[in-house]
Amino acid sequence: MNLKELKNSTILLFGKSRAFRDREFEFQMKYHQIKVLKEYDESVEVVVDGRMMTPSEENESERLYKSKAIKFISIDKLERELAKSIDEDTLLMSLKLSHDKERLKVFLENSMISKKLFFRLLKMYSWGDEDFFENDDNRDVSAAFISRFYENIERNHNVQYATTGFIHLVSQTEDAELLREISSLKPLQFHPKIDAAIAMSPYCDLELQKRYFKRGEARDLEALSLNKNLDEGLVEEFLNSESLGENVARNINLNMGLFERLKLYINALALNETLSFDMQNELLELQSVDINYALSLNNALDEKVLRKLLTLEDEKIQEAVYENSATPIEILEEAYRDAKNHLALAKNESTPIEILYQLQLDSRYERYVKTNAGFGKHIQTENIGWL
């Protein structure tokens, strides 16, 4: 079905339109030369079941459907075709000339329009100097933005009416364009934490990274230094600051070039979970107690390197290895035989459940077991409650 097929025809609409507001729906129907009736007569060629149908409309719709004498289409399908047919440039010019803020809002709240059109319309909206939910108009537009892009919004309806909805969007999305659009929203001036979350996102592209870097805000620079996909061209800019340089060394996705450049902060580098086996082994061969301890804390530690660390017979390193979720189960089971390792095992989410059950019987370790992520997940999965 396309709108050309409906040109100069008559449709019977039961209930109301869904994505398009009543006035806009009527306007679109007239524009496409489609006549809309609310009661059946012999001129009707298509029936559309809309939302909020009355009981009598539902009965009449069922009667007509059973007659098989007339074509039915859904309101969603019709409105999707209406949205696809919109001449974006003409619409934007019309809105610009009319200054019709209410109609602009109606389109922003229309879930059927394309993402491209939504963003073009959003640039026309004036937030004033107020926050996302500080007035009715801003609230409606903010809710429309969040509900359009929020994953599984049906499970969390209320999030579209809270600033946390934007924070969730940033953490959910892999869409750099969406991050750019959020970063350009004027009410973000009241929410530096959202800016920081965008700068920290691995999907924050080079354009955005450069923008945040040029702003020079301390919070933004710290967030960028934690970005796993920080552009290599920006890395040098962070090496003159010890705290920011350590953040980069600890978090960035490594290649051999970066590995060499970031040896300036080698202890932090040893904690980086993207170290390859060769990189880990090279650090181990330096025979530094501090570097070895940092490696023992790395949750992506290679098993061969891990076993080498255990042979060093350093109690601090051994404790860290037994607390490390990367440690193989057989090593943890062996460690359980020595009571001095029990505290570390109680904290390790990879410790076998059977061992954790035994450790929680000891009052010294009960608290650690109950806060152990692996044990908590087991309890939830089995739905057996805390003992």
**CATH code of 36's domain:** 3.40.50.10190
Q: Does residue 12 belong to any structural domain of this protein?
A: yes
Task: Establish if 61 belongs to a structural domain.
Answer: yes
- Identity of the amino acid at 70: I
Q: Does residue 111 lie in a domain region?
A: no
Gap between the Cα atoms of 350 and 169, Å rounded? 31
Distances (CA, A) of 331 to 291, 307, 319, 324, 338: 22, 9, 12, 11, 12
CA-closest candidate to residue 19, choices 140, 131, 144, 112:
112
Contact 235, 206 (CB under 8 A): no
Distance CA 138, CA 135 (A): 5
Rounded CA separation 298/250 (Å): 10
The domain tally of the chain equals 1
Instruction: List per-residue pLDDT tens for the chain, 387 residues long.
Output: 678 888 888 999 999 888 888 888 888 888 889 999 988 888 998 999 988 899 999 998 898 888 877 889 888 889 888 898 888 998 999 899 999 999 999 999 998 899 999 999 999 999 999 999 999 999 999 999 999 999 888 777 788 899 999 999 999 999 999 999 999 999 999 999 999 999 999 999 999 999 999 999 999 999 999 999 999 999 999 999 999 999 999 999 999 999 999 999 999 999 999 999 999 999 999 999 999 999 999 999 999 999 999 999 899 999 999 999 999 999 999 999 999 999 999 999 999 999 999 999 999 999 999 999 999 999 888 765 544
Cα-trace Rg, the chain? 30
Alpha-carbon gap, residue 298 to 284, rounded angstroms:
13
* CA neighbor of 145 nearest in space, from 168, 129, 355: 168
Which of 250, 253, 300 has the alpha carbon at shortest distance from 270? 250
Is 251 part of a structural domain of the chain? no
Residue range(s) defining the domain that contains residue 16: 3-84
294 is a domain residue: no
Residue 1 pLDDT: 63
How do residues 288-302 score in pLDDT, each as one tens digit? 999 999 999 999 999
Residues near 94 by beta carbon (within 8 Å), at least 6 away in sequence: none
Is 47 contained in some domain? yes
Task: Determine the Cα–Cα distance for residues 223 and 39; give it in Å rounded to an integer.
Answer: 60
Residue 149 lies in a domain: no
pLDDT at position 152? 82
Residue 241 pLDDT: 94
Q: Is the pTM of this model over 0.85?
A: no
Give the pLDDT confidence of 30-39 residue by residue, as tens digits.
888 999 998 8
Torsional class of 34: left (φ above 0), alpha (ψ -120 to 50), beta (otherwise): beta
Residues 6+ apart with CB under 8 A from 264: 239, 245, 249
- 68-116 residue pLDDT tens: 778 898 888 898 888 988 889 989 998 999 999 999 999 999 988 999 9
Is 71 a domain residue? yes
**String of b and e for 245-274 (b: at least 16 CB within 10 Å)?**
bbbbbbbbebeeebbebbeebebbbbbbee
Q: Which residue has the tokens 């601090």?
A: 316
